[in-house]
Structure 1
């Protein structure tokens, strides 16, 4: 069988981009069991409640829901278990320093396959206040209206 090429996105955490201000991003590998990989390849996962943390020099991903594999037997995994993240030591130290500053958290943004290997995009993020969320929505709406006005004006000029 040919080796898998390119990137295939399995799940994205759109709510995280709304609830947090993204400061920095990291790509990390995942330690998974066979049934978890098969379930991910079927395109089934949820990052909504997920978070990451550093414990004793190791990075962990917790509360990410990967449902049980349909054809799995007694070898099936538990859907919400802790999964180890594969990062370089200096990256883990940077993440630990960022989180220990206070107000920052590690949030998974997306889960995908890159050249056949499962990866997760982690973000060092700071929680937004309610008025920040409203401001972001207002800016997006204003930009959309400006783009719409420019399109109609360009059509008239043709």
Structure 2
């Protein structure tokens, strides 16, 4: 016969066991209750909704795409120069991916910008969109007529 211990794991609960229905715990063992946070009131039907704050990844992507197109470079050229995949750069430009600072720096350098310049241009874009929103203008890019001679 062997003196092996049974193959049972010792379970230590993270929370105290819930009392049985109908049994009250002493006040010292009850969790403190807090009032639920009030939700912001939804606008009435027909009332205009406040526009959402733009996401940083959308702003950075817009700036990267605008700079790339201003230089008349393809997505492949910039992705190769930045040593990142073309699909990933495309998703960053479209605001689908939250790029790391290393990826943003690589994309900025591939476009001849420093990371500080990219962030400064992005901050300028945020400021412009806020000003447009406060004046009631659309924040969609290229919302006007452009004539080229």
For the criterion TM > 0.5, the same-fold answer is: no
TM-score normalised per structure 1: 0.22
The structure whose RCO (Cα within 8 Å, separation 6+) is larger is 1
- Structure with greater helix share of residues: 2
Specify the structure having the higher radius of gyration (Cα): 2
- Structure with greater strand share of residues: 1
TM-score normalised per structure 2: 0.23
